[in-house]
Structure 1
Amino acid sequence: MKWLLVLVPLAIVLEHFAPGNALLIFAVAALGIVPLAAIMAQATGSLATRLGAGLGGLLNATFGNAAELIIALAALRAGLHDMVKASLAGTIIGNILFVLGVAMVVGGIRHGDQTYDARAARTQATMLTLAVIALILPAAYLGLVPKAEAQMGSLSALIACIMLAVYVANVAFTLVRSRADASANHAQAGHGDLHHGPQWSPRKALAVLFAVTIGIVWLSEILVGTVEAASEAMGFSDAFTGVFVLAVIGGAAEQATAIVAARQNRMDLSMSITLGASVQLALLVAPLLVLLSFFMGPQPMDLVFGPGLVLTILFSVIIAGQVASDGRTDWLRGIQLLAVYVILASVFFFVPDVVA
């Protein structure tokens, strides 16, 4: 996909010299993210081989979610709080259902049944359940308590601080477990590499990840500037655009890595990336945006997600918990996850924004 790198400077040129063609700029910028995500997958593969699937997945999620965070910050500055929430929810849903589903199908067709660390996956699934509880309760409180809008800012900030504390504990737990993963990977050196060719050193891989992330962030800023006009030209609602268009683009980096990992029979890393990226979005990015919004405008963002978003996240987490229960995957489970994703996308395509 290296030839697609030409789209990166092309998107920048179009933004400056053809600003009126929003749909073309949007398409070129979205495709330009693809080769950058592939390079990020190669760098993450080197890190995961040397540092373990847990820490490798955490690093990939962190660099991959940088684009999502930048998109959200740009939208926050524009006052598009609903779009931010839709994009966050959509990326969580997309990672659990779409990316993990594609990874299972690709890996299952090529390798048959694949195995992974069920204990680590269940830990991530439990963290997602905690995140769902944190997202449901503010909306439930607002629905049950009359005239509670004035308190939602303080309540959201408090819950955000708790979520951040839990995420820090999760990172500490992952770092401890990664030591054992690294030892196991060194014992199996030369098997299951995520990419073809020589291994990169950790320093080179981190440098590449940093550079590629800058490119993805730049293209993400271009996407934010054209998404509303492009979605209107395509006839998409704001809810569908946020949940199923921006979400796929914002999570392109970790999506590519997770699918490549499954194809190379490294389902441990694939599960770590998909579930770990969702955990990071729910317990780090979302509460961080809530706290930062107090300094970015007159109206801070709260944690009150619409009923449609809450239900879709809840359904996704429930089926993720079932998938992560026994330490094995196959292509049929991937088809099941993709079916749920397509059903949800179909509903959001027709449902009005006010309901979502």
Structure 2
Amino acid sequence: MKKWLSPLLLIVFFVLSGIAHYAGWDSTIQFILAAIAVIFVAGFLGKATESVSHYAGQRLGGFLNATFGNAAELIIAIFLVKEGLFDMVKASLTGSIIGNLLLVLGLSIFAGGLKFKIQKFNVSLAGMNGSLMIVAVISLFVPAVFLNTHAITTSDSKLLSLIVAGILIVAYVFWLVFSMITHKDYLADVTEDSDEELPHEHEPEWSKGRSVLYLIVATVMVAFVSEWLVGTLETFTSKFGLSELFVGAFLVAIIGNAAEHSAAVMLAMKNKIGAAVEIAVGSSLQIALFVAPVLVFASFFFGNTMNLVFTAIELLAIGVSVFIAKSIIQDGKTNWYEGLMLIVVYVILGVSFFMV
């Protein structure tokens, strides 16, 4: 029964969300249906990614999940950039980074830790990820400081943002070359062949070709639902008196991160914490080092360049998230209480953002 029930619900909510959008139903109903549809599509995406990771390995599987999972955020953000809603774009980028580092990573470590006392992954990879997260913070911190201290003008900040964006994209491409090609074995996950893996671990129900096909189909579905969701945001925000900062940083981010949530937690509970960390941390790095820079260039081509100047509150949230996440993953070991600490910080930030 379960085998056909989930696909049926996926199709039903996807179709209902599309009808609600194109038929012009009430914005609240549109938002709820689109949000539910994104969650079902994300579950489908997570299952497809897990199947692909079985064939490609934990690191590549985690990278693919982060990439396809971030497709939702990138598509949502491009629509927002086109509308000129830069504040909401930056808030959603902030929410994606802190959501992955605190909520996705926290839930994964917590869920995995309840089942396995100590979970281990490659300590060298943890160190590299930590250093890259600091680079991401620096890249967002520098333009804001230079503009807010009046060392540069607003037009200069746009030029600086374009230059920084270009440098970050190059750095990210080289990181992929380093981690996936030249130092692939050095960063290989220690739990890949662990004796602690579940004894009933079995072959995925989908073939390699079908898994890749479903991954692409799920991403296309996420793209459609994301567009429908964005169409309701402005009305929904004003209707309930919510700030753009809270909606962008938490509501959009939580819904957009649904793919990472489902896949990372499932993998952690199967003692594949390396893949879970790769999804959560890798996704945050991809947002900061690739997605944000791509959006800067997209806005440039739309004729109104978005700068990389984030607010003090957003920078504080990102800085705090990177600090606590780096301190927890740097030893290559995790337990359930460390996951709980990440969730606690996320809740504190969420309450603070809500009160803005």
Report the TM range for the smaller structure's normalisation: over 0.9
Mapping of 1:55-66 within 5 angstroms? 55-66=60-71
Residue 3 of structure 2: aligned partner:
none
Deviates more, 1:45-54 or 1:64-73: 45-54
Q: How do residues 228-243 of structure 1 correspond to structure 2 at under 5 angstroms?
A: 228-243=234-249
Contact 2:38 2:222 in 1 (8 A): yes
SS, match of residue 301 in structure 2? coil
Q: Helix, strand or coil for the counterpart of 1:209?
A: helix
Correspondence for 1:255 among 249, 257, 261: 261
2:296 aligned with 1:290: yes
Q: Give the SS at the match of 1:294.
A: helix
Whether 1:104 and 2:100 are equivalent positions in the alignment is no
1:329 Cα shift? Answer: 1.1
Q: Percent identity?
A: 38
- 1:190/1:262 Cα in 2 relative to 1: closer, same or farther (>3 Å)? closer
In 1, Cα distance between equivalents of 2:189 and 2:332: 21
**229-238 vs 91-100, which moves further:** 229-238
Residue of 79, 83, 87 corresponding to 1:78? 83
Question: Does the CA-based 8 Å contact 1:55-1:178 persist in structure 2?
Answer: no
1:29-81 CA-partner distances (Å, limit 9, x unpaired): 11111222122222211222222222111111111111111101100110101
**Structure 1 residues 258 and 193, CA, compared in 2 at 3 Å: closer, same or farther?**
farther
Would the alpha carbon gap of residues 150 and 181 (structure 1) be closer, same or farther in structure 2, given more than 3 Å must change? closer
Residue in 2 that maps onto 1:354: none
Deviation at 1:3, TM superposition (A): 4.2
User: Letter of the aligned partner of 2:263 in structure 1?
Assistant: T
Partner of 1:218: 224
Measured in 1, the distance between the counterparts of 2:117 and 2:237 equals 39
Deviations 1:237-296 (A, max 9, x none): 111000000011112112211111111111000000000000000000000110121111
Distance 1:137 1:181, change over 3 A: closer
After superposition, give the CA deviation of every residue in 1:133-173 in whole Å (9 maximum; x if it has no partner): 00000000001225611201110011011101110011112
Deviations 1:116-139 (Å, cap 9, x if unpaired)?
112112211211110100000000
Residue of structure 1 aligned with 2:351, choices 340, 343, 346: 346
Cα separation, partners in 2 of 1:183 and 1:93, compared to 1, 3 Å? closer
2:313 paired with 1:303: no
| CA distance in 1 between partners of 2:35 and 2:158 (Å) | 34
Question: What residue identity is the alignment partner of 2:77?
Answer: A
- Residue 187 of structure 1 and its aligned partner are, at CA, apart by 6.0
Distance 1:236 1:194, change over 3 A: farther
Structure 1 residue 89, shift from structure 2 partner: 0.8
User: Per the alignment, in what secondary structure is the counterpart of residue 175 of structure 2?
Assistant: helix
In the TM superposition, residue 202 of structure 1 has moved relative to its aligned partner by: 3.0
Given residue 295 of structure 2, which amino acid in structure 1 is its aligned partner? L
Regions of 4+ moved over 4 Å: 177-197
Gaps of 5+ in 1: 352-356
Give the aligned partner of residue 332 of structure 1: 337
Per-residue deviation, residues 93-116 of structure 1 (Å, max 9, x unmatched)? 000001111111111112222111
Q: Which amino acid aligns with 2:296?
A: V
In the TM superposition, residue 188 of structure 1 has moved relative to its aligned partner by 7.0
Please identify, of 131-140 and 201-210, the stretch whose mean Cα deviation from structure 2 is larger: 201-210
Distance across 2 between alignment mates of 1:243 and 1:67? 15
Aligned partners of 2:196, 2:184: CA distance in 1, in Å? 19
Of 52-61 and 80-89, the range deviating more from structure 2: 52-61
> Quick check: 2:191–2:274 contact (8 Å CA) kept in 1?
no
TM-score (norm 2): 0.92
Question: What are the within-5 Å matches in structure 2 for residues 118-137 of structure 1?
Answer: 118-137=123-142
* Deviation per residue, 1:184-236 (Å, 9 max, x gap): 88867995599866353332221111000000110000000001212233332
Q: 45-54 vs 287-296, which deviates more? A: 45-54
